[in-house]
Structure 1
């Protein structure tokens, strides 16, 4: 008599009982996740000077990179993964598995959705860690990054369904190209529909998104994916109208997004980030709180100019940066955040030159700056700017015509220089005849 040994039950599923884990390890899924990770990281690395210092900047570029690059990649890879069983002739084998068609579909679609989303999520974490030492104010907008991850997973799932339905082998690359073109075109539209896409751009560093935009965007994208999955996977056919439920949620979410202002979208000025932070100099230098870490460098860069302006009639009382329009006695500053890299002012000399240009800029009506002395006044204007804040040699206009005036200004005594600068500040910048000759 032969005894048959039966392995004890441990309560744990064997690998054969874990189809989801098996699906996640095989096929194109892991490679798609790696490709999404490298695509976003390489894109971000090439533009690191532009975002590694502000939370809004890194969030914006991650948003565009995930939506415009990783999104079409997930769409094409998901489509190829969706047609895998048909190409290998294993579709009938899957049909024989004792599970519902919808459950089988969710198992097979998981690699197409989860792997590219995981790649984008890891890239987000790396870039946020790279920004953390240099950001001086604010916070990372994690709700928007989560929205991007969900959008990439949605595109992977939609591509998978297309791959199962369409049998043409070139569907995957063409779908990726069409997806890229569609997302790119959507970012340039001037209507509120641009905020439905996962790659809409935003610029201002002192803004924050409205609290509901992230969750509503997730409902919009996941509603589309669930609609496609239910419409394809529900059996029998009489159950397919259930796919209208997530579609209704998606349409409702899209309706909320379409009510956003076309230009601003979900972004609003954050009072905590846009408030002015000032030094104690004369004229006073003020930056927005989001750039408060740059205030010492900006103040040091403007210090020689402020020393010449201090106490002169017509000189500004305050330099200000940010979204607010300058009040009387104030002069706007160039955006310090755009001129900095990793929390440091990139070109102090160029920054001061731009500030002086803004100081002497005047809003003239058509026909004001005309007459026989207009060309001479323009040359003197350039000479005064070059005298106070010379343009760097690798940047700026030709100053040959203005050089004689520049030499005269340098040759004057300090008292004569202050007297001329006071007369220049008091003159009407729109009337060439009032511009004093050095």
Structure 2
């Protein structure tokens, strides 16, 4: 007959006794770790919220801001917090007590330093997740690149680990704030250098949304930062000279990763243009409105914005074949408009009238040779140019023509019948705008 299982142990009050939490769980729940994580999340979300119009439209724009934010702000914060955490035992006077524990120094150091690395890394990932959720309703194309975000989290965790060891070694109270200031200043200064070494930094900035990283850069960057931090930890935690040779293993990994990164070009580094991101997406209007795939959701809003201009240009000789918005391969008859992101907030064009006016100004802009746009008719041609642009796409209040000549030409143009206006626009589009004498007077 099978013996009954023993009853679980109970405490004096008759409650089931729970096993004590392990040392790692205890370390993660106390000290500065949770507060450091909360500070990093708040720093990321507040900073990104202040710049929401700049990134809440594309995955790439958000990630291009998250990367320097992690390295430039969260990294120094993690180092300072890790430094304070590392000096905790000295401040509490428990160093002798820990020395009497039978566990060897390296495992004790690893458990004690875990909050300095894990909490900042987890906080960076949590902040990234919050930002990406805010982008998700508005992103037109692609998906977030998770590998660079993971590499950023590893870099911030590594900086927290280094700060922890520094806090154990250096006994000066001002070490933590000075470490944060030195980290921020050093990263900010080094990021403006033009050498390939800047791509070793966890704060290296790049802002073009049409580019993506080469596949190996994020793993190499993570190996570089994590390898340095682990070598630092082993060199301090291992007591014998022979044991410290183990620190050469992560140091070698870091050196190999750094060698690969240093081979990148100084201009552009690991970023390469993504052909799928700049694939044109067009409507079926005349003239056509085309955007890159990155901004496909903006096409209806852009078509509606440019329709009043297209209605007047439709069917005229000399009218553009298409409005090309963004970086795409040019075709004959294109009018190239710059990146739309600066004029859009959450897939809504902030000022359609101003954007129409800008588009018409691009339509009439010409690449002229040196010496053109001079002579006795140059000022008159400029007044006519501004008047036609104002007639086709009236600018918002405050942007209108102020020169008397411009207002006079605009008044005459508005006084014409629709047929006369159309005939004049045909003559205007056929004229060489670089030769002022050929520009027809309304």
With normalisation by structure 1, the TM-score equals 0.93
Cα pair 1:163 1:172 within 8 Å, conserved: yes
Q: What do the CA deviations read for 1:90-143 (whole angstroms, capped 9, x no partner)?
A: 112222222221111111111111111121111111111111111121101111
- 2:20 aligns to what? 14
**Alignment match of 1:82 (pick from 81, 86, 89):** 86
- 2:4 aligns to what? none
- 1:248 aligns to what? 252
Matched, 1:237 2:241: yes
Q: What do the CA deviations read for 1:330-360 (whole angstroms, capped 9, x no partner)?
A: 1112322332111222221122111111111
Structure 2: where are the runs of 5+ without partners?
1-7, 11-15
Evaluate the alpha carbon distance shift between residue 357 and residue 29 of structure 1 in structure 2; reply closer, same or farther with a 3 A threshold.
same
**What does residue range 35-434 of structure 1 map to in structure 2 within 5 Å?**
35-394=39-398, 398=402, 401-434=405-438
Counterpart of 2:139 in 1: which secondary structure?
coil
Evaluate the alpha carbon distance shift between residue 34 and residue 346 of structure 1 in structure 2; reply closer, same or farther with a 3 A threshold.
same
Q: Distance in 2 between matches of 1:413 and 1:153?
A: 70
Q: Distance in 1 between matches of 2:359 and 2:83?
A: 53
Q: Distance in 2 between matches of 1:400 and 1:159?
A: 66
Evaluate the alpha carbon distance shift between residue 400 and residue 69 of structure 1 in structure 2; reply closer, same or farther with a 3 A threshold.
farther
Evaluate the alpha carbon distance shift between residue 359 and residue 419 of structure 1 in structure 2; reply closer, same or farther with a 3 A threshold.
same
Counterpart of 1:368 in 2: which secondary structure?
coil
Q: What do the CA deviations read for 1:221-246 (whole angstroms, capped 9, x no partner)?
A: 10110111111111212222321221
Q: What do the CA deviations read for 1:181-231 (whole angstroms, capped 9, x no partner)?
A: 111123222222222112222222232222111111110110110111111
Query: How far 1:175 sits from its partner (Å)?
Result: 0.7
Evaluate the alpha carbon distance shift between residue 395 and residue 197 of structure 1 in structure 2; reply closer, same or farther with a 3 A threshold.
farther
Aligned length: 430
Structure 1: where are the runs of 5+ without partners?
1-5
> 4+ residue stretches of structure 1 with deviation over 6 A?
none
Cα pair 1:151 1:218 within 8 Å, conserved: yes
Evaluate the alpha carbon distance shift between residue 53 and residue 412 of structure 1 in structure 2; reply closer, same or farther with a 3 A threshold.
same
With normalisation by structure 2, the TM-score equals 0.92
